[in-house]
């Protein structure tokens, strides 16, 4: 909040004058308090030498950030090897998810793979079935792209009504990372896809041998065989040494620990695209192959895990938005449950199929609020309300809940997950 003091002497009188001039809305900071030891006294870190350069060969966050961590929901975790934990969205800013905070979803635990022993095989309807080592993959031209990965089940517990109290738990099955990898198109071209080859089946090397059918157009379009995330090797839990990146499409298609890609002439109708990852509608029919993730947004601060800790006055609201179909040119925000909408301020890079960051700064009057955000994507699609979504999809669904989220904030600044209709 240094700009408050710009050109001003930090005396109590001039500070108060400044506050009046800005309409009384003090943007953080307090008038100089005599006797405040934090400003008057020398702290220990002022007086003694700190750790030397080699204290942490691989750096970790400050111990004061220990609360910033992935968390699971115990009643969703019957067994950790087939479970999920959640990204602490309310602790993050900007658009990149740090590697150690990317949510994890495993169907059979984390495979521990020695990259020297790992192979990627291409077989099926190809001219030349091929097997690549990691070193072979590194000799293809690489690309860098920032993409979000959202599990189809993100917000899945909220279909019938508001349930989990925190954006980490309602919306944290998402991460946004810069990937370095080889376009899948180049690898398929190397093997030579036969004319009849219309689908691919990527398979994981973990004990779940996860597979999904992906149409050839997508495989040739923007999929990546990725080995780096945010500049360093993939984390084991994110698929080390190599994973498939399927931009904008549901997370379960992003096969981790990728060991095989079969080319076929039709989809395989495996478990994860029949009994799972389909949406049962009210009329008994199921939506299938719902690959693209619809535009969605959530306010991360304030939110149940990140209440307002200040009284009335200048307040910064922030959140994230994304779309599997393009960019997010606009997010609207309301603090009164949708009576008045305000266009939020977007800040940070706007990449295709990547997370976007928005802010809305306002003077809080200290009264209860109903906070919502509504994303617009570059195709013109507008994020629906939960009621609009339920009218079309019924209430049997788990996957693809992109309805507008509401947080109720009371006079004390405490936030709660609610629904309004
Ligand atoms: N790939 C393999 N081999 N095994 C898995 O269990 N889980 C899938 C997908 N790829 C999975 C997998 C699911 S359901 C999701 S949402 C994403 O990986 C999660 O990726 P993450 O753990 O990097 O967040
Ligand atoms: Co998933």
CA 70 – ligand 2 centroid, Å: 16
Nearest protein CA to atom 14 of ligand 1, as residue: 252
Count CB-CB contacts under 10 A for residue 259: 19
Task: Provide φ and ψ at 278, rounded to 5°.
Answer: -125, 160
Ligand 1 atom nearest residue 277's Cα: 14
CB of 335 closer than 8 Å to CB of 370? yes
3-state secondary structure of 297: strand
Which residues of the chain register pLDDT less than 70? 1-29
Cβ–ligand 1 contact at 105 (below 6 Å): yes
Cβ–ligand 1 contact at 393 (below 6 Å): no
Cβ–ligand 1 contact at 211 (below 6 Å): no
Count CB-CB contacts under 10 A for residue 372: 24
Nearest protein CA to atom 9 of ligand 1, as residue: 252
Token duo for residue 337: 């449950």
H or E element that contains 293: none
CA 352 – ligand 1 centroid, Å: 21
Q: Give residue 411's Cα distance to chain centre.
A: 30
3-state secondary structure of 207: coil
Q: What is the DSSP letter of 150?
A: E
CB of 374 closer than 8 Å to CB of 337? no
Cβ–ligand 1 contact at 206 (below 6 Å): yes
Q: Give residue 150's Cα distance to chain centre.
A: 6
Please give all residues whose CB falls under 5 A of ion ligand 2, grouped by chain where several chains appear.
105, 151, 251-252
The residue to mutate among 248, 252, 293, having the most atoms of ligand 1 within 8 angstroms of its beta carbon, is 252
Dihedral sign (CA 43, 47, 48, 54): positive
The number of residues in the chain equals 421
CA 221 – ligand 2 centroid, Å: 22
The residue to mutate among 79, 110, 151, having the most atoms of ligand 1 within 8 angstroms of its beta carbon, is 151
Distance CA 334, CA 338 (A): 5
Distance CA 12, CA 18 (A): 10
H or E element that contains 244: strand 243-245
CB of 419 closer than 8 Å to CB of 162? yes
pTM of the predicted structure, to 2 decimals: 0.92
* Residue among 110, 109, 91 nearest 101 (CA): 91
Identify which ligand lies nearest to the alpha carbon of 245: 1
Cβ–ligand 1 contact at 256 (below 6 Å): yes
Cβ–ligand 1 contact at 84 (below 6 Å): no
Dihedral sign (CA 305, 308, 309, 315): positive
CB of 129 closer than 8 Å to CB of 380? no
Nearest protein CA to atom 8 of ligand 1, as residue: 252
pLDDT of residue 22: 39
* Residue among 224, 212, 178, 218 nearest 198 (CA): 218
pLDDT of residue 27: 53
R_g of the chain computed on alpha carbons: 24
Strands (DSSP E) found in 159-207: 174-183, 199-204
Cβ–ligand 1 contact at 103 (below 6 Å): yes
Write the DSSP string, 304-368.
Answer: TTB---S-SEEEEEEEEEE-TTS---EEEEESBTTSS-EEPEE-S---TTS-EEEEEEEEE-SS-
pLDDT of residue 395: 87
Ligand 1 atom nearest residue 258's Cα: 3
Cβ–ligand 1 contact at 399 (below 6 Å): no
Ligand 1 atom nearest residue 208's Cα: 4
Q: What is the DSSP letter of 193?
A: B
Write the DSSP string, 21-59.
Answer: HTTT---S-----TT-HHHHSPPHHHHS----GGG-SS-
pLDDT of residue 28: 58
Q: What is the DSSP letter of 126?
A: B
């Amino acid at each position: 909040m240094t700009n408050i003091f710009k050109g001003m002497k930090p005396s109590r009188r001039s500070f108060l004058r400044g506050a009046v001039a800005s309409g009384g809305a003090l943007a953080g900071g307090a008038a100089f308090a005599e006797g405040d030891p934090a400003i008057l006294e020398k702290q220990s870190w002022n007086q003694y030498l700190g750790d030397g350069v080699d204290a942490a060969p691989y750096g970790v966050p400050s111990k004061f950030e220990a609360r910033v961590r992935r968390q699971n929901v115990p009643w969703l975790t019957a067994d950790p090897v087939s479970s999920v934990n959640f990204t602490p969205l309310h602790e993050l800013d900007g658009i990149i998810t740090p590697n150690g905070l990317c949510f994890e979803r495993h169907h059979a635990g984390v495979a521990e793979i020695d990259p020297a022993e790992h192979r990627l095989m291409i077989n099926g309807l190809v001219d030349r079935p091929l097997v690549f080592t990691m070193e072979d993959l590194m000799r293809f031209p690489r690309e860098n792209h920032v993409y979000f990965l959202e599990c189809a089940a993100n917000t899945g517990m909220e279909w019938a009504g508001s349930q989990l109290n925190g954006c980490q738990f309602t919306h944290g099955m998402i991460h946004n990372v810069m990937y370095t990898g080889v376009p899948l198109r180049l690898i398929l071209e190397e093997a030579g896809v036969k004319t009849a080859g219309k689908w691919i089946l990527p398979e994981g090397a973990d004990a779940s041998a996860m597979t999904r059918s992906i149409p050839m157009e997508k495989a040739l379009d923007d999929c990546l065989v990725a080995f780096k995330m945010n500049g360093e090797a993939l984390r084991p839990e994110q698929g080390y040494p190599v994973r498939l990146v399927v931009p904008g499409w549901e997370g379960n298609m992003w096969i981790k620990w990728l060991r095989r890609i079969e080319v076929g002439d039709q989809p395989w109708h495996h478990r994860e695209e029949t009994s799972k990852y389909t949406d049962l509608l009210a009329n008994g029919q199921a939506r299938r192959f719902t690959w693209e993730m619809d535009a969605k947004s959530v306010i991360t601060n304030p939110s149940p895990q990140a209440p307002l800790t200040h009284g009335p006055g200048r307040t910064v609201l922030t959140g994230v938005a994304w779309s599997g179909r393009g960019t997010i040119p606009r997010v609207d925000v309301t603090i009164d449950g949708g009576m008045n909408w305000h266009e939020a301020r977007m800040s940070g890079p706007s990449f295709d199929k990547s997370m976007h960051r928005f802010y809305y700064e306002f003077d809080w009057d200290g009264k209860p609020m109903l906070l919502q955000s509504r994303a617009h994507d570059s195709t013109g699609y507008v994020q629906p309300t939960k009621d609009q979504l339920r009218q079309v999809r019924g209430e049997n669904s788990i996957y693809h809940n992109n309805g507008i989220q509401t947080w109720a904030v009371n006079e004390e600044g405490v936030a709660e997950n609610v629904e309004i209709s």
